[in-house]
Amino acid sequence: MSKITEIRSEEARPGILQITLDGAATRNSIGRDQYDALRAALVDAGTRTDLRAVVLTGAGGFFSSGGNVSALKQGRALPLSEVMKNTDSLGAMILALRNCPLPVIGAVEGGAAGLGLALALSCDMLVASETAKFTAAYVKIGLTPDGGTTHFLREALPRQLVSEMCLLGRPMPATRLHQAGTINTLAPEGGSLEAAMELAIDCARGPRTAMGAIKAEIEAAPLNGLAAQLDLEARGINAARYGDEAGEGLAAFLEKRAPNFSPNDREGDSR
């Protein structure tokens, strides 16, 4: 059943890669095939100097229902070593998203459930339709969360709210998560992809290398103490100050004009 969902990648706008989970029959459920395909798409995107941002979305008016329940039931007959290959692939997919040097913006219509919730929350920024719902309903089928779900939820929300979502399995409206700061932008129903594209366009105007370093610093901040983070930031800004991006940005500021960080204006652009 997991093969029903296709991972489609296309350059929807100049410099912006749109990755779509496309499997209407299971509301874009994902399994090992999709973990590997999505990881490969993200790793490849990170190597392309022409790309500036990624938008991750689901087809058919729904982001992702997470793992296919039928496949999960069938997996009970597999040895632990085989099941662990699946969870290892899952973890590699999430880490590929977090480690991608490009900003990744999630666009959620309908809802994100189970692993689909983890995938949405792992994005750098998140846009959702006003009617979308986010669900961590593992407990409803006697399972515990995976894909970093508790990490991302606990990083973003108070313990009591995370407990409500994970211990009771209650769907959380996008409006409530927006109020809590977990969702960047609420869009009208059907408008999340366009709103996510607008954020991606803003990112695409920025300095690609600097934004990749900023992502890494944000990722490290919760684990570092102040001294370690000060050192990381110092090394980052000192490396950046001698690069072409800083040269353009500083000159543009002093000349009172908008900076042009587009790779299309530089030699050596490649895919």
pLDDT of the residue at 69:
78
First to last CA, the chain: 33
pLDDT of the residue at 266:
43
Render each residue's pLDDT in the chain as its tens digit; 271 residues. 345 789 999 999 999 999 999 998 899 999 999 999 999 999 999 999 999 999 999 999 999 999 877 777 777 888 888 888 889 999 999 999 999 999 999 999 999 999 999 999 999 999 999 999 999 999 999 999 999 999 999 999 999 999 999 999 999 999 999 999 999 999 999 999 999 999 999 999 999 999 999 999 999 999 999 999 999 999 999 999 999 999 999 999 999 999 999 855 544 433 3
Euclidean distance between CA atoms 212 and 47, whole angstroms: 12
Residue 247: CA count within 13 A, CB half-sphere: 3
Residue 135 to residues 32, 99, 138: CA-CA distances in angstroms?
21, 25, 9
CATH fold label, 208-265: Lyase 2-enoyl-coa Hydratase; Chain  A, domain 2 (1.10.12)
Give start and end residues of each alpha helix (H) in the chain: 32-47, 69-74, 80-99, 115-121, 149-156, 159-168, 174-179, 192-204, 208-220, 226-240, 244-254
pLDDT of the residue at 1:
39
Euclidean distance between CA atoms 75 and 266, whole angstroms: 50
Residue appearing with tokens 């190597």? 47
Q: What are phi and psi of 106, to 5 degrees?
A: -90, 140
| DSSP class of 64 | B
Contact 62, 110 (CB under 8 A): yes
Verdict on whether the full-model pTM lies above 0.95:
no
Specify burial of residue 97 (Cβ count, 10 A radius: 0-12, 13-18, 19+): buried
For the chain, the domains span 2-204, 208-265
**What torsion, rounded to 10 degrees, do the Cα atoms 183, 55, 121, 84 define?**
170
pLDDT of the residue at 264:
59
Q: What are the tokens at 231?
A: 């050192």
Q: Which CATH superfamily is domain 2-204 in?
A: 2-enoyl-CoA Hydratase; Chain A, domain 1 (3.90.226.10)
- Name 161's Cβ contacts closer than 8 Å, sequence gap at least 6: 172, 180
